[in-house]
Structure 1
Amino acid sequence: MPLPFSPPIRARILCLVLGALGGGVFYLLHLPLPWMMGAMTLTTLAAVSGVRIAMMPRVRMVFVAILGIMLGSAFSPQMLDHLQNWAISLLWLALYVVVTTYLVRLYYIHFAGYDAVTAYFAAAPGGLSEMILAGSAFGGDEARISLAHGARILVAVFVLSFGYRWLGGYTPTGASAAAASLPLDIVDLLWLGGAGVLGFFGARKLRMPAYALVGPMIVSALLHVVGVTASRPPAELVAIAQIVVGSMIGARFTGLPLRLVLRGILLAVGATAVLLIVAAGFGFAVDATAGVPFGSALLAFSPGGLAEMSLIALALGVDAAYVSSHHVVRIFMIVVAAPLVFRLLRHKG
């Protein structure tokens, strides 16, 4: 008797089922950020064990857009008073991007044996898909660039989740400071839903990097800053978003040889250690010069993905608006500057 779904659909559904199961286990064990960590762990183990799971890009986009609305609702009119401090922090961020790209590039060349092109785009802490496309266009190894960024996000999420819980004393609430309890008023739902739809399609039309998250976040932030609405998405959506995002991290390793994945993760441990050490140094600098708490600055400078770091900030009650804004700016910096800088460096030999 034929199965009701084609193999790709079964693989995608299995990915989310395993993600929810892993999240539930981590939740029962009272581990930090259980829904994302559990989903990421179980789907990664399944992928490297040969289980056929697959990403669901459209489902991920929906929940990433909801996450963007949540992050936008963390903005408030009072934040306008802190723009000067944020500007100082963003200047430090620009320097951080330059320093870490240079150091991690050297790491991948001399320690991993990567060629110069692959090492450069594997080191640039930008969007995963953008760096893969740019790196392959310049002749880099697409598989190694993809694995470097995917493994870096995996390692960063693990280290930061447990580090903030055990060393920083942060206690995940399971919800977020930027979320509300169900139900919401119909007017609130219309405002938030409109922000998501307008932001998503507007940012896609403008070809913004990470448009599914950045667009809804910008529109939602504008609505909250000008005082049109103070409503926030339901807290229950945070857990679902964690499951989806965590599952998609694990699904990236499907079909890759176990030996290649393990080597990529080991290399990512070293690269992430360099990034986090430098991020900690810049975190102290931001704390001293801009008055931003070290815990917020470290998470804003940490080498994870935009969606993943934003979810950690939401779950831990760290300043989500500050953290997400810095990761958005970092991605814009890298996506715009990385190819231009590489052309300049290659032209000069």
Structure 2
Amino acid sequence: MPFAFTPPTRAHILGLVLGAIGGFTFYLLHMPLPWMLGAMAFTTVAAVSGVRISLMPRVRMIFVSVLGIMLGSQFSPAILGHLQNWMISFLWLGLYVVVATWAVRWYYLRVAKYDPVTAYFAAAPGGLSEMILAGSAFGGDEARISLAHGARILVAVFVLSFGYRWFGGYAPPSANPLASQAPLELIDIFWLALAGIAGYLGARLIRLPAHALVGPMILSAGLHLAGITASKPPQELVTLAQIVIGSMIGARFTGLAFGLVLRGILLAIGATALLLLLAGAFGYAVAWSAGLPFASTMLAFAPGGLAEMSLIALALGIDSAYVSSHHVVRIFMIIVAAPLVFRLLGGRRGS
């Protein structure tokens, strides 16, 4: 990709401005996870109302990488003692992916009346971009697959953010978990910047999914596990990252017909409810078999995006290293297995 400067368009600027206004509004209203939820709400309403908004790809990449660095900073040497329990949890996660995909595929076939290809790739609980590409290649409806995944994330983020606050009694800790507790020296800035830049480039080179987030997260985790740095990105950068990620969700609905979006969101409410029930059941199974807190296991199995679920964990003081690790593994499982399983089951273009 050439690095020539491309000036922002009106749609780019408007997307960020609406996201910032929404985040600040939710912050004043003391909403949970205000900067992301507010940005998501305002940009979604604007997009479905016909306002053209978008985000510059490099802006998205920079701030998603910041979140990756932040997530990596949650890994510490103490985690190594919990790896045996995590392995039990990963085994349950594999079963969850199979059961969840089958259940939601049935839902989209019977309730939404989608064709088999569209229903299958819309049902996969993760891998938004990859499922859109794979589903389109097999002859599925790209718009419906995109809408199913985008609306699922939208619904899951709102339900879980408010659910944890209202019904779980979770509120942000008195010490802001998104702010650096260690002094940010010049050498720490160097290490964090290295994690972001080298992590992004390395993950992109080897074609890791969600490379802008996963690469910096892995390298940042390595630096923190090795004790090279204990610092986190500045709070202001993390707040901007939340606004950008929230705006990304809303901008996905730009250009889609209002009726299509409304039906997609209504269908996503049903699909997400089904996935949350399954996530709760598997979360209880993991909490029982591995001795892990249900608040962490539920969020690790929840049907939201990697960035979004990790931010909820960070904001509420839940084990974000455990949560983000499970979402990374889930994405790998889906991206590798979904197209392969579709072919093995006799899937073909337009079938």
Contact 2:72/2:220 (<8 A) preserved: yes
Q: Deviations over 1:139-172 (max 9, x none)?
A: 1100000000000000000000000000011113
Equivalent residue letter for 1:307: A
1:51 and 2:46 aligned: no
Offset at residue 233 of structure 1 (A): 1.5
Task: Give 1:58-73 correspondences, 5 Å limit.
Answer: 58-73=58-73
Task: Give 1:1-349 correspondences, 5 Å limit.
Answer: 9-172=9-172, 176-177=176-177, 179-180=179-180, 184-346=184-346
Following TM superposition, the consecutive aligned residue runs of length 4 or more in structure 1 with deviations greater than 3 angstroms are: 173-176
Offset at residue 236 of structure 1 (A): 2.5
Contact 2:85/2:291 (<8 A) preserved: yes
Q: In structure 2, do the counterparts of structure 1 residues 264 and 76 end up closer, same or farther at CA, with 3 Å as the change threshold?
A: same
Offset at residue 56 of structure 1 (A): 2.2
Contact 2:153/2:303 (<8 A) preserved: yes
Contact 1:152/1:271 (<8 A) preserved: yes
Question: What is the TM-score of this pair, normalised by structure 2?
Answer: 0.95
* Alpha-carbon separation, structure 1, partners of 2:275 and 2:83: 26
Equivalent residue letter for 1:145: I
Contact 1:181/1:236 (<8 A) preserved: no
* Alpha-carbon separation, structure 1, partners of 2:156 and 2:52: 25
How many percent identity over aligned positions?
A: 73
Contact 2:182/2:232 (<8 A) preserved: no
Offset at residue 57 of structure 1 (A): 2.0
Structure 1 residue matching 2:9: 3-state secondary structure: helix
Contact 1:175/1:315 (<8 A) preserved: no
How many residue pairs are counted as aligned between the two chains?
Answer: 344
Q: Deviations over 1:107-131 (max 9, x none)?
A: 0000000011000000011211100
Contact 2:182/2:231 (<8 A) preserved: no
Unaligned runs of 5+ in 2: 1-5
Structure 2 residue matching 1:249: 3-state secondary structure: helix
Offset at residue 215 of structure 1 (A): 0.4
* Alpha-carbon separation, structure 2, partners of 1:174 and 1:110: 47
Contact 1:11/1:52 (<8 A) preserved: yes
Q: In structure 2, do the counterparts of structure 1 residues 247 and 225 end up closer, same or farther at CA, with 3 Å as the change threshold?
A: same
Contact 2:71/2:324 (<8 A) preserved: yes
Offset at residue 347 of structure 1 (A): 5.9
* Alpha-carbon separation, structure 2, partners of 1:257 and 1:155: 19
Q: RMSD of the TM alignment (CA)?
A: 1.7
Q: In structure 2, do the counterparts of structure 1 residues 347 and 60 end up closer, same or farther at CA, with 3 Å as the change threshold?
A: closer
* Alpha-carbon separation, structure 2, partners of 1:333 and 1:299: 18
Offset at residue 175 of structure 1 (A): 7.8
Unaligned runs of 5+ in 1: 1-5
Offset at residue 8 of structure 1 (A): 6.8
Contact 1:19/1:246 (<8 A) preserved: yes
After alignment, is 181-190 or 226-235 more displaced?
181-190
Contact 2:155/2:269 (<8 A) preserved: yes
Q: In structure 2, do the counterparts of structure 1 residues 77 and 159 end up closer, same or farther at CA, with 3 Å as the change threshold?
A: same
Structure 2 residue matching 1:346: 3-state secondary structure: coil
Q: In structure 2, do the counterparts of structure 1 residues 183 and 79 end up closer, same or farther at CA, with 3 Å as the change threshold?
A: closer
Equivalent residue letter for 1:233: P
* Alpha-carbon separation, structure 1, partners of 2:347 and 2:272: 29
Contact 2:179/2:232 (<8 A) preserved: yes
Q: Deviations over 1:187-208 (max 9, x none)?
A: 0000111111111000000000
Offset at residue 7 of structure 1 (A): 11
After alignment, is 207-216 or 173-182 more displaced?
173-182
